Amino acid sequence: MTRQHHSHQTLSDVSPAGTARREFLLAARRYGTTAAVMGLAGGYLFDSRAMAQTAAEEEAKQKAAKVTMMFATEYKIEDYVKYPIMQAKYKANVETQSKGQIYTKLYPAGQLGVGAALAQKVQAGTVQGGAVSLSNFSPFTPVVDLINIPYWCGDNQRFANLVTSKAWNDEITPKVMAKGYKPLFYFTVDPRTVASRKGYKVIKTPSDMQGMKMRVPPSKLLQTFYRLAGANPTVVPWGETATAIKQGVADGLDPAIAALATFGFQDLLSNISYIRSVPDAQMFAANAAWYQQLPADLRTAFDAANEQTQVETFAQIEKARAEAMRLLTAGGCQFYNPNEAEMKQWMDTCGEQRKEYDEFKMQFAGSMAAFDNFKKAANTKGPITVADFKL
């Protein structure tokens, strides 16, 4: 999902509104952002003794460490309950696996930029690591846009199989490294949906999308997909999407269920169709040069922390989805799960076998044979088991 326009989300948005937000900002000024983040994650933000102790511990940890990693995201720390991005857990994993030799300083909620702007900072090394959607990495590493070809790796299990496969790591990872990024791990937050605004019809099959103004990120692949479905894809900056939906400039949008809830669309939507087209995927990445200069033992520990967090993140998808669905249902949204015959129409009309995708397969995979090899990897069970969702 393209989110480069979240500039409205700042430090003041890290915590819930009202008293807790003011308390967070006070704690950040008094004890430092990391201590405030830990207090928020641990539920002791209002306990001055615990906060002072945390601040002292964090300072001591940073002094004792050989390396400090600044790690930034556009998500609030507490978002993990409805969006499976586990920042506090990641910090703990890195520090534990490295026996305190890599200190992790978290910068959540867009403090150091969001989307493509954050991806650029990681590439430049001004931020050592970050979590950004693959759509936002694609301007810098176009090869990852391969996952936006519909109906070959959209399901959670097939995506997990693909990104942990030898084919992916032999072919794609070196190309990403060459662009200045070390992929730490990939994950998905469920497949994309077709979510329609209040007052708009339920989308069951591609024929229901005829003439629909579909908000898309600036991905040529996704634009091709919705054109094949009969919609009019409209590129709208992410920060303007809610307004576009509200005003009827766009009739629908396609993020995963968890993202729709996290970014507050529950009051704007009537129906969310679970068409399972492409993964709404993310990557934790580090600056490649920073990673390569780590001593060998720390690199090994760091790799172990990333593998551990990947497994825990995939395991969080179901819990996050359940909470996201609760929030969306409370806002008046209804969910639609296409039946087998309807899913066949989606695949026949828009699936990866369409010749319109051949140029993308050639461009991103290198050849049609290479794409078939990736497809085989997506369909071969990998080391991680992920629950696929059926409504």
Say which CATH number the domain at 301 has: 3.40.190.170
Query: Which pLDDT band holds residue 113 (cuts at 50, 70, 90)?
Result: confident
Phi and psi of 67, rounded to 5°?
Answer: -135, 140
> pLDDT tens digits, residue range 21-63?
788 889 999 999 889 988 988 889 989 999 999 999 999 999 9
Lowest mean pLDDT segment, chosen from 10-19, 139-148, 248-257: 10-19
Within this chain, do residues 45 and 137 fall inside the same structural domain, yes or no? yes
Within this chain, do residues 125 and 56 fall inside the same structural domain, yes or no? yes
154 part of a folded domain: no
Q: How far is CA 28 from the centre of its chain?
A: 26
Within this chain, do residues 70 and 121 fall inside the same structural domain, yes or no? yes
Of 315, 338, 369, at which residue does a domain stop?
Answer: 315
Within this chain, do residues 109 and 202 fall inside the same structural domain, yes or no? no
151 part of a folded domain: no
Phi and psi of 282, rounded to 5°?
Answer: -135, 160
121 part of a folded domain: yes
Within this chain, do residues 254 and 125 fall inside the same structural domain, yes or no? no
1 part of a folded domain: no
Q: What pLDDT shows up at residue 220?
A: 85
Q: How far is CA 229 from the centre of its chain?
A: 25
Within this chain, do residues 214 and 352 fall inside the same structural domain, yes or no? yes
Within this chain, do residues 298 and 352 fall inside the same structural domain, yes or no? no
63 part of a folded domain: yes
391 part of a folded domain: no
Q: What pLDDT shows up at residue 42?
A: 87
Within this chain, do residues 333 and 218 fall inside the same structural domain, yes or no? yes
* Mean pLDDT across the chain: 92
Give DSSP secondary structure letters for 45-97: TT-HHHHHHHHHHHHHHHHH-SEEEEEE-SS-GGGGGTS---HHHHHHHHHHH
Query: Which pLDDT band holds residue 115 (cuts at 50, 70, 90)?
Result: confident
Q: What pLDDT shows up at residue 389?
A: 84
How many Å apart are CA 117 and CA 182, to the nearest integer?
17
Q: What is the dihedral of CA 188, 301, 74, 330, to 10 degrees?
A: 50
Of 315, 338, 362, at which residue does a domain stop?
Answer: 315
Written as six digits, the tokens of 391 are 């409504």
Query: Which pLDDT band holds residue 240 (cuts at 50, 70, 90)?
Result: confident
Burial 301-312 (b: 16+ CB within 10 A, else e): bbbebbbbbbbe
Closest CA to 163 of 391, 389, 390, 386: 386
Give start and end residues of each alpha helix (H) in 200-281.
220-229, 241-247, 257-262
pLDDT higher for 4 or 183? 183
Within this chain, do residues 26 and 125 fall inside the same structural domain, yes or no? yes
> pLDDT tens digits, residue range 124-142?
999 999 998 888 888 888 8
Within this chain, do residues 183 and 201 fall inside the same structural domain, yes or no? no
6 part of a folded domain: no
Exposure of 299 by Cβ count < 10 A (0-12 exposed, 13-18 middle, 19+ buried)?
A: middle
pLDDT at 14 over 70: no
Residue ranges making up the domain that contains 245: 194-278+325-378
Written as six digits, the tokens of 330 are 């409370």
Closest CA to 72 of 125, 109, 33, 124: 109
Query: Which pLDDT band holds residue 290 (cuts at 50, 70, 90)?
Result: very high
How many structural domains are present in the chain?
A: 2
